[in-house]
Amino acid sequence: MSRLNSIPNPDPTVLRKCSRCHARSQEQLYKDFYAYALSVTLRFIPSREDAREVVNDVFIKVFTRLKIEIPDNFTGWLRRIVVHTAVDRYRANRTRKELHSDIGEPLPLPVPEEILDQLNAEDILKLLDQLNETPRMVFILYEIEGYHHDEIAGMLQIEATTSRSHLFRAKAFLRNSLLNLTLHERNAG
């Protein structure tokens, strides 16, 4: 969460003006936090066009909720709205086929330490983009956002055991992808 701490909260005056529907302040807040909201959204919604729609929905919620409450930690508050809005979009778009797929569980394989040391967050996010939606959502919510399986189950409207299964699949996929990458690099070198 160190990146979260590096994003400053907006000026309280701007938030107060936004709570009174001051258009210029709303525009300023939107411009200041659009990139941050989009980067969080893209973890959940890989399509940039869909992610932009989600971010616009987020700011509609932000401006509506600011009329009721001005949060002390705006950035954390915004992040929660982004995550929940992205999850809502996911739930609206998911297919029944994916929910009930019963693919056999791949066996987890160890990944050499030297490969893990070379990876950065961008590499992992690229691998995550290759996952089906539900395992990707569960992995991000559990491993990156820090939610528990019971919370994820409620958000995605699945069972907690299903959440655990999707997390297992996501991790197995990542392990296998990393091993394939390792083998490919060793054979190429």
State residue 89 phi and psi, 5-degree precision.
Answer: -65, -40
Question: pTM to 2 decimals?
Answer: 0.69
CA angle 167, 104, 183 (to 5 degrees): 75
pLDDT tens digits for 50-71? 999 999 999 999 999 999 999 9
pLDDT tens digits for 150-183? 999 999 999 999 999 999 999 888 888 877 776 6
Domains along the chain with CATH numbers: 2-93 (1.10.1740.10), 100-188 (1.10.10.10)
Contact 79, 141 (CB under 8 A): no
